[in-house]
Amino acid sequence: MGYNTWNAYRCNINESVVIETADLMKSLGLQDAGYNYINLDDCYSEKTRNAAGDIVANRQRFPSGMNWLTDRIHKLGFKAGIYSDSGWFTCELYPGSYLNEDSDIKLFQDWGFDLLKYDNCAVPYDAVIKEGIIGKYTRMSNAIKNLSIKSGKPPILFSLCQWGRQQPWIWAKRLGQSWRTTGDIEARWHSLTYIMNENSFFAWSSDFYGRNDLDILEVGNGNLTYDEAKSHFTVWALMKSPLLISTHLASASEETLSILTNPEIIAINQDPVVGTSITPFRWGVNPDWTYNRTHPAQYWSGESQNGTVFMLLNTLDHPADMFFSLTESPWVRAGRQYAVRDLWSHTNNGTAVRNFTAHAVPAHGVVALLLTDDGDEPEGTMPPCARPEQCFGEDGTRVPEWFGSDMFPQVPIGL
């Protein structure tokens, strides 16, 4: 969790912007909410290395130097992140780290940085690099590990920015702590649904060893409605993506801050006991396992240390009721009732038995619930099984799937 300069400032960064942002992160309560990194993105350096072959901080925009900057960030109680690229150049054609991995990571450590975001632009010709995407990122991963051994310091956190084209959710866990899964985010609903849809198919790969990175948060930027911003933050948080703000905090609204600091949503993202993401249990608008960039899966569930998490995402352009059976989630026990906690209204909403309906979920809106076991369901709840397929009594009688009232007798097995 933290701040990244790219979406808000692009290349218009300098030491004053970075320190002002860190001050605002503290004064606006974002640090207290758990945001503890201040990360520089592209464009902080000179266009060329110095005579010794080192990256040089831009003299006009960072005249006090990077050690001064990281000292200030650390004194405010944050960690500091830096950016580089696995190719010849960064995406904005500043010096990349290819063939300079060992010296660059030592420089970043000497500058006082704690995290490296590592991009995928300006890839060398095949005849030069002679390795695939995994090997290209392995070079920096090995440099980080070797530096930690030599220096006796903890390894710099390694965040791979590979854009998902070669399935980093499968291999990147060997190399770093997070990996980008899709292209760059934009502050519009269809960009969010594209990312949600893509990640629905590999949400399983996030755990404590590393996280799918759905890209920087656009909450408070541009064209998102309040409900869309809530959906954006909820999906990112409950899917255990890194949460990196990139908005102009000096003009951040109370609505924006209330979304970014929701303690009950952040608690799921930062759960110290359960590291796995929520996953879809039903697609809703579309048949299950449907790939749809504009209408991703709507019904999601997962574990947490305090109960079962449910997320209902209304991808329609109008309000809708959203219904599900509790045991559609694999994390809910049959024959039990569940207390319902709404993670956005921060209210306890009674007890759910078998089913739950969220009424009039806003267009592009979200419902986030935490369900906790509240004992046996009431005696006599019918039908005998919430999910009637293969529902049997001890005497071998099967309850048919259409069983719903006393007018339908049980049918012995085999009939």
| Residue among 41, 42, 104, 119 flagged as catalytic | 119
pLDDT at site 409: 45
Q: 383 preceded by cis ω (within 30°)? A: yes
pTM of the full predicted structure?
A: 0.95
Cα(141)–Cα(110) distance, integer angstroms? 17
Q: Is 184 a catalytic residue?
A: yes
What pLDDT was estimated at residue 368? 98
Q: Which residues of the chain have pLDDT under 50?
A: 405-415
Residue 400 pLDDT: 84
Q: Give the whole-angstrom CA distance, residue 42 versus residue 93.
A: 9
- Is 376 one of the catalytic residues? no
> Where are the chain's structural domains?
2-270, 279-376
Q: What is the pLDDT of residue 399?
A: 87
Q: Look at the domain 2-270 and name its fold.
A: TIM Barrel (3.20.20)
Given this model, what pLDDT does residue 165 score?
73
- Name the E strands within 17-108: 37-39, 79-85
What distance in Å separates the CA atoms of residue 200 and residue 202, rounded to the nearest whole number? 6
Supply 222's token pair: 């541009």
Catalytic residue chosen out of the listed positions 54, 71, 102, 184? 184
Q: Answer yes or no: are the C-beta atoms of 170 and 272 closer than 8 Å.
A: no
Does the domain formed by 279-376 have CATH 3.40.50.1980? Answer: no
CB 199 within 8 A of CB 181: yes
H helix or E strand, kind and range, residue 352: strand 347-353
Q: How many CB atoms lie within 10 A of CB 79?
A: 17
Angle CA(281)–CA(284)–CA(288) in degrees, nearest 5? 60
